[in-house]
Each structure stands twice: as C-alpha cells, then as structure tokens.
Structure 1
Amino acid sequence: MQQYEMTFFWTAVACYGIAAFGYIFGLLARKEALFNCALSFVVVGLCGNAGAIAVRWFFGGVPPFIAISESLASGVLIAVLIFLIAQFVARNLEAAGVLVMPVCFVLLGWAGTMMKGYDGTLPAALQSTWLWTHIFAAATGFSAVLLAAAVGLLYLFKENKSGGLYENLPDLAALDELSYRCIAGGFVFLGLMIISGAFWSNQVKGSYWNWDPVEVWSLINWLVYGIYLHLRITMGWRNRRLALYALAAVAVMILSYWGIPFVSSNFHTGFRIEH
C-alpha cells in the first residue's frame, strides 16, 4: 500500500508548493484572487497530507511520527491546519500563507527525501503515553510560533506599504497583538513539550533531564520565547522590533527542531532518523 501513501504524500507536496507560490505572488502583485486560488490548493494538500499519514499509520501499525520524516509530515499537517483555522478566527489573515506555506512546502518536501518503508515495530523507548503529549505539544507549539512569525512578516509589509491588498490586512496594532497571542500560546505548548518529554525520559532512562542536544535546544527555544514575552510585558516592546524578533526566533526553532537531530547521537535522535 506504499504506492497510495506516495500518491497522497507527493500530491500534498505539490499542492503546498503551488499554494506557496500563489501566496507569494499574490502579496507581491497585490492580487487577492491569487490567495483564494492558493487556499484551494492548501485544502487539497491538507487532505493529501492527512491521507498519507493515515495510510502509513494503518498499514505500518505504529504511530506516524517515529522517524524524522514522519515527525516532519505530522508537524506540517498541524501547522497547515492551524493556519486554516486562524483564517476563520481572525479576518483577513490569508496573506500569512506567504511564510507558512513556503516553510511547510520545504519541510514536507524534505521529509519526502527521507521516507522509508514500513517496519511495523515500535521501539521500547517509544512505548509511552507521554510520547503522544510530547509530540502534540511540540507540533502545536511550533505551529503557533510559525503563525506568529508570519503575522510579524505581514506587520513589516503593511508598515512599509500602503494601498490595495495591504489595506485589507488587519491594522498594525491588531497584527502586533495577534503575533503576541500566538507566541504566548506557543510558549505554553513548548513548555508542555519539555515537561512531558522529561516524564518520558524518566520512564526510558530513569532521569528527567540528560542534557542531550535536543533537550538543551528545546529549552533554549522556550527561553527565547520567554524573553519575547518579557520584552513585551515588562519592557514595553511593541511593533517592528518584536515582529523581527518573531521571525528570527522561528528560524532558530526550525534549525534546532530538525537540524540538531542530525548531529546528535543519543536515543532522542536515533529513533527519529532510523525507522
């Protein structure tokens, strides 16, 4: 059944790629019609993304986030879903796809280069109920801060341009507030990721913290967003500075989330790269 998974998967990659270009050109050309077209491809891509995960889970017999490629695919699914939900909750946020969809396209395409066949066995280290909380919190936290960065990018665009499509974006104060709320939510989920990961580690290794690179960078990312909240709430930072901060912070998170596992030799990495 791997052929069905591949069909779903690469359909999702193609649709996300088309959507990414649609959002980029729509923003540059100030054509809102391109956003509507891109949205259609996002929805089709989401269905393909979900279908590929479902097929792999059903026929593989194990949760679809064991290998790093599966972790990427699951994380992208949640990121796209949250992006779509945000468009219904907050008005005129379609342009946020200019960052969200290119990132999701690249990550899912990268996952496709690492996919392997079904193994059907679950390593002992992963047989824990804490795993589910850990994975969900990590993906949701990442999705929230990615959306925050996208909103921050829209802030920078609207601040420097006027007229046409940019007039339809939420005002600068609303964009600043929305980015802050997304990061506040992401901060909570990233904290939950660390806590659940600590309990999971204790079950597997007998200690809550082992100072391996993945744990350390997870803590660093959490602190980076904690500093963001401190700068806003205590120091009174607003607007452009925090928009730039959100963009830089999500870049660090992407590198550490999926880059560090390639240079780490501990169990946290091994089961994510090798299926």
Structure 2
Amino acid sequence: MIQYNWPFENLLINCSFIFLFIAMICYWIYLASFFKNIFLKFGQFSNIFANFSIFASLILRWINSGHFPLSNLYESLIFLSWGLSLIHIILENTTQNYFVGALLSPTTLFINSFALFNLPVDMQKISPLIPALQSNWLMMHVSVMLLSYATLFSGALLSISFLIVVWIETLMAPGTLKIILQNLDSSSSETGFSLSSKEKKENFFKFDYLNNLDNLSYRLIGIGFSFLTIGILSGAVWANEAWGSYWSWDPKETWALITWITFAIYLHTRLVKGWQGQKPALVASIGFLILWICYLGVNLLGKGLHSYGWFL
C-alpha cells in the first residue's frame, strides 16, 4: 500500500532545493566578483542547511516507512544529492578549495531537482519493500554504491574542469600553459616540477590551481573506486542469497563492471604509468559519462534484475 509522505518531509525536501539554488548562485557570484567573501560565506551556510534538510528528510522517511530509504529511484537520487553535498562540505573544510562549490552545487541541485520535479508523483510516495529488497544488504550495498557514485562524480567533474581550464588558458597564454602541462604530464611525483623560481612566481595561480585540481580529482577517484569495489562485492554476495548466483550479467551489473574497469584504468595510468594532467583527466571524463549510464541510463530502461522501483 502506497503511503503519503509526511508534510514535514516534503517541507524539508523543498527547503533543500531552495538552499541548494541559493548556494549555487552565491558561489557563482563569488567567483565572478573576484572572491567577495560575503557570497562565499552565504553559499557555504546555504549548502550546510541543504545538507541538513536532505539528511533530516531521509531520517523522517526511514521512520515513516520502516525501512532504509533506498528502495527506488527517487530515494536514491535524494541520497545521492545528500552525498554530493556532504563531499562538498568536506572538501571545502579540508582543502580550502572554494572552486568545488561552484562546480558541485549545480550538480547537486540538478540531481535534487530531477528527483523533485521530473519523477512521477507515485514514485515519490512511500511504498512497501518488495520481497527482493527485504534484506539487511539493502543498507550496506546500495548506500556504499551511491557513496561511490557521489565520490566518483565529484572526482570526474574536477577532471573535466581541469580540461576546461587547460583549454581556456591555452587559448589565452599557450606558451605559459605548455610549460606547466609538460611538467604535469612528465613529472613522476605530484609536486616535482622544474619551473624556475621566476616562472613559478609569475604563473603561481595557474600552476597551483591546475595542480590542485589534478591531485584532488585523483584522490577523490581513488576513494570512490574503493567504495565501488566494496559495493560490487557486497552486491555479488547479496545476489547469491537472493537469486542463487554471484553474477548474472544483468545490465546493471555489466555497466557497474564497465565503470569499475574505466576507473581502474585511470588509477593504473596514475600509479603505474605516472601520468598526470590531461591524459588521465580524459579517462576520468569518459568515466563520468559511463557512470551516468550505469546509474541512471540503465535504470530508466527498466530492464534486468535491478529494475524494481524505476521507470518502465
């Protein structure tokens, strides 16, 4: 039997959309106005309020439904937007890189608004778990997979932004950026560059900014890949309990494997080949597209063993 959501839950979700929208605008104004701190602070507070609103709505939904709120596409999108918002908060507090706010806040807003305004109303209502999902593995497997998606999305977005900045800066000052990127691609360590002190001083912003983007993307993808590996393994154990087979080449499983291989290639190029800069960023950009197919594309088709609770 379908249950209607608590009014307070709907209020919290709607508030999260408003807070995320305000955060996105503030971060964009902050960058466009050359780092005016008032907009940065307001954007940070808005993102924190949005994260709290989403988290509280998930807790209320859990209490109201009696099961962990990850049983359909709507709930997974809300959880994913919470994960991205949380990563945004952690990154800003640990790296002091405020560009991530301008990058992640619109992504979080897009996912949140897609869940609120594009999914059928019936999917947004609470419904009982089908037998296949009545397992303790629901919390373990699905939450870890969504955390891996959130982390990999963040890392891949930073790689894409790295390529965009490289493209823009190359058009503006090709000679300067060429020196920086040659060092980024050829250095065997993350900070081993051969620019002279004068060149470093003149190009400090470009040099430091690109290097930080590259390294931060690498770290996020490394964490996300670990989550993805754990999620796939836990899913295989759950599949064996539910369907009697660890692997069935279900579309969702197949694309999860393709995603895993893509990001494994990225990490191989970084750890074994010593690549940095544009080449691994291109691999991560491809992984970004594959990740969307794995998460959303396969689900929208509504085919396979993982199709419960999705579009048909």
* TM-score, normalisation: structure 1: 0.88
Unaligned residue ranges in structure 2 (runs of 5+): 174-200
The 8 Å contact of residues 269 and 275 in structure 2, kept in 1 or not, is answered as: yes
* Distance verdict in 2 for CA 1:169–1:40, change over 3 Å: farther
Q: 2:147 aligns with which of 140, 144, 167?
A: 140
1:4 CA drift (Å): 1.0
Which stretch of the first structure deviates more once superposed, 169-178 or 189-198?
A: 169-178
Which stretch of the first structure deviates more once superposed, 7-16 or 95-104?
A: 95-104
2:192 is the alignment partner of 1:185: no
**Residue equivalent to 2:179:** none
Which stretch of the first structure deviates more once superposed, 21-30 or 62-71?
A: 21-30
Superposition map of 1:26-175 within 5 A: 26-33=30-37, 34-90=39-95, 92-113=96-117, 114=119, 115-119=123-127, 121-153=128-160, 155-156=162-163, 159=166, 160=169, 167=205, 170-175=208-213
Within 1, Cα distance between the matches of 2:42 and 2:14?
A: 19
How far does the alpha carbon of each residue in 1:103-157 deviate from its partner, in whole angstroms, 9 at most, with x for none?
11111111113243222x2221112222222122212211222221343355446
**Residue equivalent to 2:240:** 202
* TM-score, normalisation: structure 2: 0.78
* Distance verdict in 2 for CA 1:60–1:169, change over 3 Å: farther
- Amino acid of the structure 1 residue aligned with 2:94: V
1:168 CA drift (Å): 9.9
- Amino acid of the structure 2 residue aligned with 1:191: T
Within 2, Cα distance between the matches of 1:146 and 1:32?
A: 28
Within 1, Cα distance between the matches of 2:14 and 2:208?
A: 34
**Residue equivalent to 2:290:** 252
What SS does the corresponding residue of 2:309 show, helix, strand or coil? helix
The 8 Å contact of residues 270 and 276 in structure 2, kept in 1 or not, is answered as: yes
- Amino acid of the structure 1 residue aligned with 2:19: C
**Residue equivalent to 1:6:** 10
1:52 CA drift (Å): 1.4
Corresponding residue pairs, total: 270
Superposition map of 1:209-248 within 5 A: 209-248=247-286
* Distance verdict in 2 for CA 1:262–1:151, change over 3 Å: closer
1:50 CA drift (Å): 1.2
Within 1, Cα distance between the matches of 2:223 and 2:299?
A: 25
What SS does the corresponding residue of 1:267 show, helix, strand or coil? coil
Q: 2:307 aligns with which of 262, 269, 275?
A: 269
How far does the alpha carbon of each residue in 1:14-38 deviate from its partner, in whole angstroms, 9 at most, with x for none?
2112212322343344334333221
The 8 Å contact of residues 23 and 35 in structure 1, kept in 2 or not, is answered as: yes
Within 2, Cα distance between the matches of 1:213 and 1:232?
A: 29
Within 1, Cα distance between the matches of 2:27 and 2:285?
A: 18
RMSD (CA atoms): 2.5
1:49 CA drift (Å): 0.8
2:24 is the alignment partner of 1:20: yes
The 8 Å contact of residues 152 and 176 in structure 1, kept in 2 or not, is answered as: yes
Structure with the greater alpha carbon radius of gyration: 2
